[in-house]
Amino acid sequence: MNGLPLSVMARTGEMQRLAASAQNDRVLVIIQLHGGNDGLNTLIPINHYSQYYNIRPNIAITDHGKRPYIPLDSTLPEEQLAGLHPDMVGIKELYDRGRVGIVQGVSYENMNGSHFRSRDIWFMGGSYDEYLGSGWMGRYLDHLYPGYPDAYPTQEMQDPLGLEIGNAVSLAFHRANGIPTAVSVNNPQQFYNLINSVGVDPPASVADTHYGHELQWIMDIEKKSNQYAGRLREVYEKGQNSDVQYPEKYPYNAPKRSVNNPLAPQLKMIARLLSGGCQTKIFLARIGGFDTHASQVEDYDASMGTHAALLYHLSEGVKAFQNDLLRLGLEERVLTVTMSEFGRRAASNGSWGTDHGTSAPMFIFGSAAKAGITGTNPDLYDLDRNNLRMQHDYRQVFGAIVQDWFEAAPEAVQKTRFEDFVLADQKLDIIGNPVLSTKDTFVNSRFFLSDCFPNPASSLTSFSFRINQKALVKIQLINAQGKVVKNILRGVRNPGEEQLTVDVSELTPGIYHLLMQSGSFKSNKPLMIK
C-alpha cells in the first residue's frame, strides 16, 4: 500500500492456521472415467504428431479434413502444444474462458493393469504394494467430521458427507473402521421411495461373532440411509437448475449403446442438490465404457465411434454443468476433476482399439482451476514397452486439491496419506483463488485487441489482434453514435496474432471505437481521428 509491501495473512500467521482448521463450503466433484481412458486420442501431442500417427494409424485423429483435432492453445511452448479430440468443443470453450487445467502423464509407479486393483489404488490413496481397507476421501471426511456416523446428521451438517452416484459405495469413501462416509443414490426421489417401501424392525441385539459384526455393519448403513433419505429429497425438491440445456444424445455416428449421455443427468442432479442447500463435500459421478480394446473408433472415420461419443458426453456434460453452476451463483464453490484407473497403450491394436496402458491426462474444471497445462506432451519416441512414461503421481493431484482447494490443515492432509506429495519438490500448482483469480490475464493473453498506433491518427493507424481458435473475426470502426462507419475485417482466421493497418483519412475528425468480435469474445479500443 502506497508503495510498501504488505502481507495481510502470512502463511505462518495465526489467521492462516485458523482458516486452515475451519470448514468451508467448497465442494469437490470427481468424474470417474470407468475402464481406462485413452489419453492420446483425448489430448493429441502436436509436437510428436507424425510419430503419434505412425504408431496408431488406424485410430489416429487427423490434423486435416472435416473433423481434425482442435488446437488447444497456440500460445503454449512447443512441448505443450496439444489438440483436443474434435468432439471436445465444450472443453475447448471452457479452456478459453480460463476454466480448465490439465495435468499430463498422471499414474502411479509400477502401474497395475487390473481394472479392480488400479481403481482400489486410486481410491485408497496408496501405492502399488499397499492394501488398505479405507479410502482417502473417507479418511479425510472422517477427520473433518469427527464422531461420524453416530453424531450425524447435525444442525450444522444435515447431509451425507459424501455422495456417490450409483448403486454402491466404492472404497474411496470407506473409513478406517466402520461404515462409509457416503451414501449412494441414482435419484433422490427414488432413493426416498426405496427406503420407505422396504424394511422390517431390526433385531434388538446381535451376537458377538463375525456374522453379528457383519449384520451390525449392514444395519448401521440402513440406519444412516434412512436418516438421509428424507433430507436428500427435501433439498432436491427445494433446488432447481437454470435454463441451461444438458446434452442427452451424441449427435453423430456411434454404436447404439454409446448414444445416450449417462453423465449429464448425474451432473444436473448434483447442481440441483447444491442449489437446494445440500452441504455434501465430495460427489463421485461415473461414466463407463472406456475399456476400448476393440471398436474404439469407426473403421471409416477415426474421429467417430465409441470413444468419440464418450468424450462428447464428458465435454458437453461438464460444459453444461459449469454454465449451470455459474447461473445458479455456485461456480466459485465447486471444483470438478476427472480420474481413470489407467490410460491406454501408445500403439493401437489390430481391432481398431487400444489395450491397457499407464499414464493419461487429468482434467480440472472450475473457476479455481489454474488454467493451462501442467507437464509436457508424452514423448512418443521414449516409451516403456509401448507405455507412456509417468510424469505425475495421482497423489500429487489429489494432494494439491485437498490442501489448496479444501484448505485442509496439515493433520487432515496426513489422514489422506498425501503429505509427501505436497512438499516443495512434489507440490503441483494447479489450484487458484476462485474469486481473486488470474482468469482475465489468462484470457486476455489469448484473445486481445491492441491499442491503435498512432492515436490520434490522421491518415494511417495500425493495431494487432490475437485469437486462440480458428474462428470468424469481425472488426469494425464505430462512431460516437454507435454507427458502423468502416468494416475493417470479416473472415475466418487461424489461431495466432495478426497486424492490420487502416486508412482513416476519409473520416470526419472525432472519437471512434475499434470493435472486435470473435465468437463470444468482444473487445474495443478508442481511436481519435484528427
Neighbours of 375 (CB within 10 A): 17
Domain of 465, CATH number, reads 2.60.40.2550
* Structural domain contains residue 1: no
The answer to whether the CB of 392 falls within 8 A of the CB of 374 is yes
Among residues 409, 441, 473, the one where a domain terminates is: 441
The answer to whether 13 and 320 have CB atoms below 8 angstroms apart is no
Triad 210, 212, 214: Cα angle to 5°: 70
Instruction: Supply the pLDDT for residue 199.
Output: 55
CA distance 151 to 212: 23
For residue 72 the three cell numbers come to: 488447444
Distance CA 27, CA 492 (A): 40
Task: Please indicate, yes or no, whether residues 490 and 519 belong to a single structural domain of this protein.
Answer: yes
Domain boundary among 441, 470, 492: 441
Per DSSP, 327 falls in state H
What stretch of H or E contains 212? Answer: helix 210-238
Residues 414, 503, single domain; the answer is no
Burial of 503 (0-12, 13-18, 19+ CB in 10 A): exposed
Number of domains the chain contains: 2
pTM of the model: 0.89
Cα(508)–Cα(506) distance, integer angstroms: 7
Among 424, 441, 458, which residue terminates a domain?
Answer: 441
Residues 272 and 304 occupy one common structural domain: yes
Give the phi and the psi of residue 404 in degrees, each rounded to 5. Answer: -95, -30
What's the domain range around 266? 24-441
With respect to residue 11, please indicate whether it lies within any of the assigned structural domains: no
Domain contains 212: yes
Based on the fold, state whether residues 71 and 199 are members of the same structural domain. yes
Cα distance between residue 178 and residue 161, in whole Å: 15
Distance in angstroms (rounded) separating the CA atoms of residues 398 and 125:
9
| Cα angle: 128, vertex 130, 135; to 5 degrees | 100
Domain at 52, CATH number: 3.40.720
Residue 282 inside a domain? The answer is: yes
* Gap between the Cα atoms of 85 and 92, Å rounded: 10
**Does one domain contain both 413 and 520?**
no
Residue pair 316/324 in contact (Cβ under 8 Å)? The answer is no
Q: How far is CA 504 from CA 47, 330, 424, 456, 476, in A?
A: 42, 47, 56, 11, 12
Question: What is the model's pLDDT at position 17?
Answer: 47
Distance between CA atoms of residues 57 and 206, nearest Å: 62
**Rounded distance between C-alpha atoms, residue 344 and residue 506, angstroms:** 62
Helix (H, G, I), strand (E, B) or coil at 136: helix
Same domain, yes or no: 471 and 422: no
Strands (DSSP E) contained in 133-259 are 162-165, 182-185
So what's the pLDDT on residue 8?
57
pLDDT in tens, the chain (530 residues): 666 665 555 444 454 444 444 568 999 999 999 999 999 999 999 999 999 999 999 999 999 999 999 999 999 999 999 999 999 999 999 999 999 999 999 999 999 899 999 999 999 999 999 999 999 999 999 999 998 888 899 999 999 999 999 877 899 999 987 788 888 888 777 766 755 655 556 666 667 776 766 655 565 666 667 778 888 999 999 999 999 999 999 999 999 999 999 999 999 999 999 999 999 999 999 999 999 999 999 999 999 999 999 999 999 999 999 999 999 999 999 999 999 999 999 999 999 999 999 999 999 999 999 999 999 999 999 999 999 999 999 999 999 999 999 999 999 999 999 999 999 889 999 999 887 556 788 998 899 999 999 999 999 999 999 999 889 999 999 999 999 999 999 999 999 999 999 999 999 999 999 999 998 889 999 999 99
Q: What is the pLDDT of residue 215?
A: 58
* Amino acid occupying residue 142: D
Tell me how far apart the alpha carbons of residues 366 and 17 are, in angstroms, rounded to a whole number.
Answer: 26
